[in-house]
Structure 1
C-alpha cells in the first residue's frame, strides 16, 4: 500500500539536519513504502543524504531559506512562516503535497503555524497535543493536552476525550479505550467546575461513546496501566509529563550511581543487566517519541527536540500510522455519533497556545 509523502522539517531539533535525515532513513529501512519531502537548507540536506542511499529515490528536497529558532516566540515565527522549514512543511500538508508533517522544532511555533494553516476540524474548538506514555500494562497510554492550551473549559475536555480515544484505538489497537480525566482526587465532588461538568457530560453520553469513561484519576495512577487515555488541560498535562520524564531520569541515574558505587555493585550490575536493559528500554523517551496535534485538518507530529535517529524514526512511523488509519475521519465520525459537540457550552473564546 502506498502512502502520501511525509514532509520532514529537516532543520528542527537540537542537532538538526544530520539526525532528522538519519531518522527518516531509518524509518524507510523499516518500511520501504515511506516517501519524504525534506524541507530545509538544500545544500545541507543533500550533504546529509550522501550517507543514506536508500533515501535518494524516495525523497524530494524543498529548499527553505530560514529556520525557526528554539527560543523564538510563536508570534514572531508566524510572521516568517512562509520562508521557514517548519512553516513550509506544514504548508505542504495544506496544499496536498504531503500527507503529514514531522518537526522537532519549537513546539509553540509549530502549534501556532499548524493551527493557522490547517485550521481545526469541524466540531473541535482547539487542537490538543497528545503523546504516548509507557505504563505497567500491555499497551502505552495516551495523554492530552500536553501544552497546547494552558486553560480549558468543559467543552474542550470533552472534545479531548473523543480525540484521545480515537488516537488510542489506532496507536494501541484498542476496541474500547478506558478514558479518565486527571484530577486531584477520584471523588465526583473533587476538582474544578470544568472537570466536574466534563465528567457529567461524558457520563450522560456513555452509551453513545466509542470508549469507556471511568471518571477521574490521579497523577500517581496514570502509568499503572489502569487507564488508556488521560485527559487534562495543557498546563497540568505539561507539568505531569515533565514530572514523569524527570522521575524516569532520576531512577535511571540513581541506578547508574548505585551500580558504580563498589566492586560488589558492579558485579551485581552484570548479573542484573538483562533486567536493567529492559528498564532502560522502557524508560527511553525515544521509544515513545512522536506527539500529535489532534483536532487539525491535517496530521502534524512533534518529535522531541533531543530525539536521536531512533526517536525521529518513531515519530515518522506515528505520522504514517495515522495516515494509514485515517485519524481525522475517525474523530469526525466519533463526534457525530456521540453528539457531544453540541452538548457542552464553551465559556472562553480565546486560549493561546503555549510552548511545551
Structure 2
C-alpha cells in the first residue's frame, strides 16, 4: 500500500525524522527523541505536523440545526469564533469519532476529525446532512495543519501572524488571519494539555512557516511525544480509549452532553437510559505501583481475575511514573482501587487514580 504524505513530509525527512505508518499516512514518530520533544512542549514550545487530520468545510442555511442532531453538545450556544469539542454518535450512542466544530457563522462552520476515521465520518455526515441542504467540502488534502504547543507558543507564533493579536484568542476560540500575506485559520486548541495553537494554511505557506518556526527555535515533535503528552493530560485517543461500542458516559465524557439544552439527537434515548440506570463500566486512570509499563490491551486483574483491559499506557516523562487508562466495571472504578496489570505473564500492582495525571499550570 502506498502511504500518503503530508505537505511537510520533505521537511521532516530533511530533519532526519523517523517515520511510521499511521492511519494510511507516513508520519514522523520522532525527531530529536521522544523525551526531548515531550519536555520541549511542557517547558517551552514544540510544533507538530498534523496535516493528516480530516478537515471538512460545512455550509448551509440550517447548518447548526442540522449538525445538532448528530452530537450531544449544544452547538446553538456557540458565538462566531468559538469552538466545541464533541463526539459524533451512532444509534446506540457509540462514539463514531471525536471532533472539534468551529463555528464561523449562522451558515458556515468547520470540522476537524481524526485521520483514521476521515472517510467514515464523511460518509456519516453526508448521509445525514446533505438531505438537509448542507454542503460539505473535504479539504483534508488541500491544507497544511501545524500545531504550535507550549507555554511560549503565543510569543513565538505572533511575529509570523498578521491581522490578529493572538492574546485576544481565548481557549477554544478561532479566527481568520494572515501568514506571509496569505489566508490562515488559527485556533487556540490542541492535544497536549498545554496552551497552544493549531494553524491551517496552504501547503506552500505551511512549508515556509515550518521552516521559520524551526529557525526561531521551535522543536519539531512527532507522534511519539504527542501520545505521551495527551495521555498525561488524560485526553482520549479514538480507536483505543473510545470507539463505536463505547458511549460518552462510559468514556468519562458526560460533560459533553448538554442534557437541558438539547432536543433530540442520535443516540439520546440510550444515554438517557444509561444515565438513569448507571453505566456498567468506566474509563479510569491507573498508576503503576512497581516497575513495569501497562500497554494497550494488557489485562487488568483483581484477585487473579481479569476485570478489564488497558486502552492506553506509557511511561510519563513529566511525572516519571507509568500511567494508563483502562475500562473497569463500575464497582472497581473508584479512586484508590488496587488492581494488577498482566505484563508478559507476570502481575504488577497498580491503583486507580484521579484524572488527569498532569494539569498544566499555564492553562
Q: TM-score of the superposition, structure 1-length normalised?
A: 0.24
Q: TM-score of the superposition, structure 2-length normalised?
A: 0.23
More helix by share: 1
More strand by share: 2
- Higher relative contact order, structure no. (Cα contacts within 8 Å, ≥ 6 residues apart): 1
